[in-house]
């Protein structure tokens, strides 16, 4: 039995204007609303996960309430819980989940105060065909760590990730699926969110999504371009309340034979920021918002 997560299932975010944000994630970002309770709104992609995003009303600036990982079954959830407890994290015990999608799992606080959860046995969807212009799932979450080495070690030693690349300031982590990476880590003074990346079914949908966002008043803050590590195409945006989000596509599919490469391998020729050499530099706004969103303290129980 591999004691590991299978990827990022969902993120819970807090917005001061949750209804406005929900309208955006439904009509412009092109997710589909799946549940609504007490002012919170849940959205699915075209993939199997019951939901990939939950928007909760809250006072204050945009915030991360929780990041939830997927696990294969209850035995793995229980084993991961033991490892989380052994690492010294504050955690609740695994239990049946009563919220939208149900399931079995537990929430905990990692060593830098992030609210994380691991779940399985959720009421997932059978209709999983791709749809043009609609995200499938969360491709990856990029977090900023104040204690980078410790946070990276936690992903590997406790949650079962493998570090597959190190490019510039970013460390890429692969888990029990075929995507190149499901987590990306960088260093900052305060643990914050860098961005949440949503996977489009193809390049065309990623680019058309960029146009749809521009039409709606959300310009591209970085991109379009094609990353080196992971080989995925990208467009980055400031969503409602400047929450940092990405459309991506064509994520490199790998297996255990993939070989690690370090920063020397991933160097660009001078002036380039992507494989194609077409993206302008990050906007000042992107530089600001990619180190702005905090995890809400203590909202780890699921
Ligand atoms: Fe990304």
CA angle 91, 94, 99 (to 5 degrees): 100
Distance 196 CA to ligand 1 centre (A): 7
Tell me how far the alpha carbon of residue 142 lies from the centroid of ligand 1, in angstroms: 6
Does the structure show a pLDDT above 90 at 161? Answer: yes
State the Cα–Cα distance between residues 205 and 202, nearest whole angstrom: 5
Residue 63 alpha carbon to ligand 1 centre in Å: 18
Sign of CA dihedral 263, 265, 268, 273: negative
143: tokens are 């977090």
Q: How far is the CA of 96 from the centre of ligand 1 (A)?
A: 32
CA distances in angstroms from 42 to 14, 20, 67, 174, 189, listed in the order given: 12, 14, 14, 26, 32
Quick one: pLDDT at residue 38?
A: 96
Instruction: Kindly tell me the sign of the dihedral angle through the C-alpha atoms of 133, 134, 136, 139.
Output: positive
Kindly state the average pLDDT of the residues 148-168. 97
pTM for the model? 0.98
Ligand 1 midpoint to CA 143 (Å): 10
What gap in Å lies between CA 188 and CA 170, rounded to an integer?
11
Q: What is the pLDDT of residue 97?
A: 98
Rounded to the nearest angstrom, the distance between the alpha carbon of 188 and the centre of ligand 1 is 16
For residue 248, report the distance from its CA to the centre of ligand 1, in Å: 7
Q: What is the pLDDT of residue 141?
A: 98
CA of 198 to the centre of ligand 1 (A): 9
Rounded to an integer, the average pLDDT of 279-289 is 97
Q: Kindly report, residue by residue over 73-131, the tens digit of the pLDDT.
A: 999 999 999 999 999 999 999 999 999 999 999 999 999 999 999 999 999 999 999 99
CA angle 88, 110, 53 (to 5 degrees): 145
Using the predicted structure, report yes or no on whether residue 294 has a pLDDT greater than 90.
yes
For residue 200, the CA-to-ligand 1 centroid distance in Å is 13
CA distance 218 to 211: 9
Average pLDDT, stretch 197-216? 98
Task: Give the pLDDT confidence score for residue 1 in this predicted structure.
Answer: 86
Q: Please write the tens of the pLDDT for every residue from 227-265.
A: 999 999 999 999 999 999 999 999 999 999 999 999 999
Q: For residues 107 and 273, give the distance between their C-alpha atoms in angstroms, rounded to a whole number.
A: 37
Distance 197 CA to ligand 1 centre (A): 5
Cβ-proximal residues to 129 (8 Å cutoff; 6+ apart), any chain: 46
Lookup: tokens for 263: 């920063």
Residue 38 alpha carbon to ligand 1 centre in Å:
31
Ligand 1 centroid from CA 141, angstroms: 7
CA distances from 47 to 55, 63, 148, 292, 301 (A): 19, 25, 31, 29, 25
């Amino acid at each position: 039995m591999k004691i590991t997560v299978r990827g990022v299932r969902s993120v819970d975010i807090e917005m001061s204007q949750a209804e406005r944000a929900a309208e955006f994630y439904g009509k412009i970002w092109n997710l589909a609303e799946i549940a609504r309770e007490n002012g919170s709104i849940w959205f699915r992609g075209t993939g199997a996960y019951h939901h990939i995003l939950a928007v909760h009303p809250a006072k204050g600036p945009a915030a991360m309430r929780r990041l939830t990982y997927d696990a294969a079954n209850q035995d793995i959830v229980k084993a991961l819980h033991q490892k989380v407890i052994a690492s010294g994290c504050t955690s609740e015990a695994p239990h049946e989940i009563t919220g939208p999608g149900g399931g079995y799992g537990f929430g905990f606080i990692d060593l830098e105060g992030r609210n994380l959860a691991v779940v399985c046995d959720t009421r997932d969807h059978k209709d999983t065909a791709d749809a043009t212009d609609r995200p499938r799932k969360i491709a990856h979450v990029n977090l900023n760590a104040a204690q980078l080495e410790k946070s990276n070690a936690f992903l590997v030693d406790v949650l079962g990730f493998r570090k597959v690349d190190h490019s510039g300031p970013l460390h890429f982590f692969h888990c029990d699926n075929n995507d190149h990476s499901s987590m990306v880590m960088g260093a900052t003074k305060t643990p914050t969110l860098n961005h949440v990346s949503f996977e489009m079914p193809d390049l065309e949908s990623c680019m058309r999504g960029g146009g749809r966002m521009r039409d709606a008043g959300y310009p591209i803050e970085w991109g379009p371009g094609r990353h080196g590590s992971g080989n995925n195409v990208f467009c980055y945006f400031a969503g409602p309340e400047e929450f940092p989000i990405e459309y991506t596509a064509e994520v490199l599919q790998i297996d255990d034979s993939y070989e690690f490469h370090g920063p020397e391998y991933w160097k660009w020729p001078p002036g380039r920021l992507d494989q194609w050499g077409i993206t302008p530099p990050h906007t000042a706004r992107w530089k600001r918002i990619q180190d702005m969103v905090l995890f809400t303290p203590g909202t780890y129980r699921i």
